[in-house]
Amino acid sequence: MSTRRNFVAGAGGALFSQLTANKATAAPDKLRIAVLGVNGRGKDHIQGLMTQPDAEVVCLCDVDLVVANKAADAFEKRYGKRPAIEQDMRKVFDNKNIDAVTVATPNHWHALAAIWACQAGKDVYVEKPGSHNIYEGRKLVEAAKKYNRIVQHGVQLRSSAALQEAVGHLRKGVIGNVYMSRGLVFRSRPSIGKKGVEPVPEGLNYDMWTGPAAMEPFSRRIVHYNWHWTWNYGNGDVGNQGIHETDMCMWGLGVDQFPDKITAMGGKFVFDDDKITPEVLTTLYHYPGLKKIIQFEVRPWYTNDEGGASVGNIFYGSEGYMVVKGYDTYETFLGAKKEKGPARRAGGDHYANWIKAIRSRKTTDQNGPVETAHLASGLAHLGNISYRLGRVLTFDPAKEKFIGDKQADAMLTRPYRKPYVVPDKV
């Protein structure tokens, strides 16, 4: 924390007066929230939080001032007041008038931004994946515990009334002994083409955008959305849409640890473009002691669904199977004749659940606690490591290290670019 504080002080550490003024715009009993990253998921954060009766968005933070101002214009038009704008998230953390933050930055920033927020005494809603690698996921858990912060992971399925019911059925044995889950991410991801190097656009602080990652020349193959498909910033689709499904797989199976054996295979088969992460990826996660297994598959383009789901999960039991579709629907099919069993469609409000836990200060009130950020994200990271090394890996879930494999262990973390360093002691 001292490193971050000193760096901010050295940079001037000035706050916009508008941030202080915004304290008066939010009712005294409302939580004052800043949204970090407003080009993608941050837009949903704004909309979802502004529907909460006891919370209000007072600040938008984005390293791209063009994006930030566009979002502020839309906010003002819709809500009749203009939020403060910041380009440097550290100024948000240092502002005592802000109670909590949501993190909707690119993946490589998620854990560090959330850790800094915890250190500054802010509660956090962090988008999936909660980490870019295993190491920083564990550090995020440690920071949340140390600073007694409510850190909600953006796995909205956990707040669905239908899927809560579905997991209850799995626990009660409606489909018998549940031994396998299968995660599906069949999204039509088009080619991103080939993009060259360009000058950094006006208004973008590219040094801060790069943050803890290795610095690369600016290119549209990275900024803004295409960072998902390169390892320096993203984690491919298993670490994008797939985190909802890795989390659902673990939740439904009732496993709260990493697997012992991991293997993955895939590649690029459709497009000759600048994507580095695999278009097609099949991963197996084996829990031999628990007699359970997780299968996970990513497909990029035109394909069939499975059990009626193209993005979702399938759970297999000794007496039937269950299909989870999207964010809020499940169906069960029982016996050899696949007779229809319990089914339901019902959503939930993940932001409201976060606000409730902030008010109560009870992590037991959370549907997506910080542990899910580490486990669901970490499962994806383990699969990606196996894919990149091209071999079966053996893992020690207790130590969170590979067994006798220094090459794989090196991929549990990354070299951090100063001063954007995830500290060993949070």
Per-residue pLDDT tens for 52-76? 999 999 999 999 999 999 999 999 9
State which amino acid sits at residue 283: T
Does 5 score more than 70 pLDDT?
A: no
Does 47 score more than 70 pLDDT?
A: yes
- For the whole model, what pTM was predicted? 0.93
Share of the chain above pLDDT 90, in %: 93
DSSP string, 384-423: HHHHHHTS-EEEETTTTEESS-HHHHGGGS-PPPTTS---
pLDDT of residue 356: 98
* Calpha distance 241→265 (Å, rounded): 19
Which residue ranges make up each domain of the chain? 2-157+352-369, 160-193+207-346+377-408
pLDDT of residue 34: 98
The mean pLDDT value of the chain amounts to 94
Does 1 score more than 90 pLDDT?
A: no
Does 328 score more than 90 pLDDT?
A: yes
pLDDT of residue 15: 36
Does 79 score more than 70 pLDDT?
A: yes
pLDDT of residue 11: 32
Question: What does the pLDDT look like over 200-237, one tens digit per residue?
Answer: 999 999 999 999 999 999 999 999 999 999 999 999 99
CATH number of 2-157+352-369: 3.40.50.720
Residue 195 DSSP one-character state: -
Share of the chain above pLDDT 70, in %: 93
- Give mean pLDDT, residues 403-422: 98
pLDDT of residue 29: 86
Question: What does the pLDDT look like over 126-142, one tens digit per residue?
Answer: 999 999 999 999 999 99
Name the 3-class secondary structure at 99: coil
Does 9 score more than 90 pLDDT?
A: no
- Give mean pLDDT, residues 9-18: 35
Does 292 score more than 60 pLDDT?
A: yes
pLDDT of residue 254: 97
Does 6 score more than 90 pLDDT?
A: no
Q: Give residue for tokens 């580095």.
A: 276
State which amino acid sits at residue 320: G
Does 19 score more than 90 pLDDT?
A: no
Fold classification of 160-193+207-346+377-408 (topology level): Dihydrodipicolinate Reductase; domain 2 (3.30.360)
How many CB atoms are located within 10 Å of the residue 361 CB? Answer: 11
User: How deeply is 125 buried, as exposed, middle or buried, from its count of CB atoms within 10 A (0-12, 13-18, 19+)?
Assistant: buried
Dihedral (CA of 92, 98, 100, 105) sign: negative
- What is the pLDDT confidence band of residue 28, given thresholds at 50, 70 and 90? low
State which amino acid sits at residue 198: E
**Within this chain, domains 2-157+352-369 and 160-193+207-346+377-408 share the same CATH topology:** no
Does 27 score more than 90 pLDDT?
A: no
- Give mean pLDDT, residues 281-303: 97
